[in-house]
C-alpha cells in the first residue's frame, strides 16, 4: 500500500507542477484582430479628485502596421492597486478606438496608467498615460486659475472661456510648460502673482494680485502649477527616505 500511495503522491505533485507551468489564460473579450501600435485619442493629463472618476473618459486607438485604425483588437487598461477601470478590457470599435472610465486613488499626485494590446505574436504593445489627482490645496488653485489666470495662460479657447492669449504682445507661458515654470522658485512665483511681472523684470502685462488673493490662495495657485507642470516639478534639497 505504501508503494501505491507513493506513486499517487508523485502523480499528484506532477499535476500541481503542470498547473504551475501553465498560467490561466487572460479573461475578457476575445480579439478578432491584432494591432501594431496604441495611440492616445483623448483623456490624458486630466486633473481629478481623490478617489473619484476622471472628468472625461480615456480613449485610445489601435492601429495596424500601416497606421490604419483597427477594429476588433482588445485593449487592457492597468494602473496601481488603487486605480479602477470600467471596463478594464474592451474591444476596439469600428473606428479602432477603445474607451474606459478611470477612477484614481485617494493620494494626490501623478498616476501612470497603461493601455496595452497584443500583437499577432502575443507581445504586448503599451501606451502610458499620465493623470493627476488634486488634493484640497491643488483643487483651490485650479479654481483660482480658472477665475484669474487661464484666460491668458491658456492658449486654447473653450466654450466656457475665450482665451486672450492671441491678443497679447508678450505671450505668457502655460502652467503646464514645466521647462519654464520649473525654473521659477516658489518665492519667484509668489512675487510674480502678488506683485506682477515687473517684480522679476518680466512683462508688465502680468498684473499684480496681491490685493486680490490672500497668502493661502497664492500658495494654492502655486501648488496647482506644480501639479500640472510637464515635465514634473522636482524640489531640490535634502530628502529623507523611509527606512
pLDDT in tens, 169-183: 888 899 999 999 999
Residue 95, in any domain of the structure: yes
Share of the chain above pLDDT 70, in %: 85
- Residue where a domain terminates, one of 79, 101, 133: 133
The 10s digit of each residue's pLDDT in 14-69 is 444 444 444 345 677 999 999 999 999 999 999 999 999 999 999 999 999 999 99
Indicate whether 12 pLDDT > 60.
Answer: no
Residue 156, in any domain of the structure: yes
Q: Do 223 and 149 have their domain in common?
A: yes
Q: Do 106 and 150 have their domain in common?
A: no
Residue 113: its pLDDT value, please? 98
Q: Do 162 and 186 have their domain in common?
A: yes
The reported pTM is 0.79
Q: Do 43 and 121 have their domain in common?
A: yes
Q: What is the CATH number of the domain that holds 122?
A: 2.60.40.10
Whether 152 contacts 175, CB under 8 Å: no
Residue 241, in any domain of the structure: no
Q: Do 144 and 121 have their domain in common?
A: no
Question: What is the arithmetic mean of pLDDT over 173-202?
Answer: 94
81-90, 157-166, 222-231: least confidently modelled range: 157-166
Grid cell locating 130: 499620465
Whether 12 contacts 4, CB under 8 Å: no
Q: Do 76 and 129 have their domain in common?
A: yes
β-bridge partners, 9: none
Q: Do 89 and 104 have their domain in common?
A: yes
Indicate whether 101 pLDDT > 50.
Answer: yes
Q: Do 152 and 221 have their domain in common?
A: yes
Residue 95: its pLDDT value, please? 98
Number of domains in the chain: 2
Residue 26: its pLDDT value, please? 63
Residue 15, in any domain of the structure: no
The 10s digit of each residue's pLDDT in 134-175 is 999 999 999 999 999 998 888 776 766 778 788 888 888 999
Residue 30, in any domain of the structure: no
Give the CA distances from residue 22 to residues 27, 28, 68, 124, 128, in Å, rounded to whole numbers and listed in that order.
Answer: 15, 18, 35, 19, 29
Round the average pLDDT of the chain to a whole number and report it: 87
Which residues, 6 or more positions from 81, have their beta carbon under 8 angstroms from its beta carbon? none
43-52, 106-115, 230-239: least confidently modelled range: 230-239
- Residue where a domain terminates, one of 114, 133, 152: 133
Q: Do 160 and 218 have their domain in common?
A: yes
Q: What is the CATH number of the domain that holds 194?
A: 1.10.760.10
Residue 48: its pLDDT value, please? 96
Grid cell locating 1: 500500500
Residue 59: its pLDDT value, please? 98
Residue 240, in any domain of the structure: no
Give CA torsion, residues 147, 148, 149, 151, to 10 deg. 70
Residue 26, in any domain of the structure: no
Burial environment of residue 66 by CB neighbours within 10 A (0 to 12, 13 to 18, 19 or more)? exposed
Which domain range does residue 165 map to?
136-228
Q: Do 74 and 50 have their domain in common?
A: yes
Q: Do 162 and 205 have their domain in common?
A: yes
- Output DSSP code: residue 125: E
Indicate whether 4 pLDDT > 80.
Answer: no
Residue 171: its pLDDT value, please? 87
- Residue where a domain terminates, one of 74, 100, 133: 133
Whether 110 contacts 131, CB under 8 Å: yes
Residue 234, in any domain of the structure: no
Amino acid at each position: 500500500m505504501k508503494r501505491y500511495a507513493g506513486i499517487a503522491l508523485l502523480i499528484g505533485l506532477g499535476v500541481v507542477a503542470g498547473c504551475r507551468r501553465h498560467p490561466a489564460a487572460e479573461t475578457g473579450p476575445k480579439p478578432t484582430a491584432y494591432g501594431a501600435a496604441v495611440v492616445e485619442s483623448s483623456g490624458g493629463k486630466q486633473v481629478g479628485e481623490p478617489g473619484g472618476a476622471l472628468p472625461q473618459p480615456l480613449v485610445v486607438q489601435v492601429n495596424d502596421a500601416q497606421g490604419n485604425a483597427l477594429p476588433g483588437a482588445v485593449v487592457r487598461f492597468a494602473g496601481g492597486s488603487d486605480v479602477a477601470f470600467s471596463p478594464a478590457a474592451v474591444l476596439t470599435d469600428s473606428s479602432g478606438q477603445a474607451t474606459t472610465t478611470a477612477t484614481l486613488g485617494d493620494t494626490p499626485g501623478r498616476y501612470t496608467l497603461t493601455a496595452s494590446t497584443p500583437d499577432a505574436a502575443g507581445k504586448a504593445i503599451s501606451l502610458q498615460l499620465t493623470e493627476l489627482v488634486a488634493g484640497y490645496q491643488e483643487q483651490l488653485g485650479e479654481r483660482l486659475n480658472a477665475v484669474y489666470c487661464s484666460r491668458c495662460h491658456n492658449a486654447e479657447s473653450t466654450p466656457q472661456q475665450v482665451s486672450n492669449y492671441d491678443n497679447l504682445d508678450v505671450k505668457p507661458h502655460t502652467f503646464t510648460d514645466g521647462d519654464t515654470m520649473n525654473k521659477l522658485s516658489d518665492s519667484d512665483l509668489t512675487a510674480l502673482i502678488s506683485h506682477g511681472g515687473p517684480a522679476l523684470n518680466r512683462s508688465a502685462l502680468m498684473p499684480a494680485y496681491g490685493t486680490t488673493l490672500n497668502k493661502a490662495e497664492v500658495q494654492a495657485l502655486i501648488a496647482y502649477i506644480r501639479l500640472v507642470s510637464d515635465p514634473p516639478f522636482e524640489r531640490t534639497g535634502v530628502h529623507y527616505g523611509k527606512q
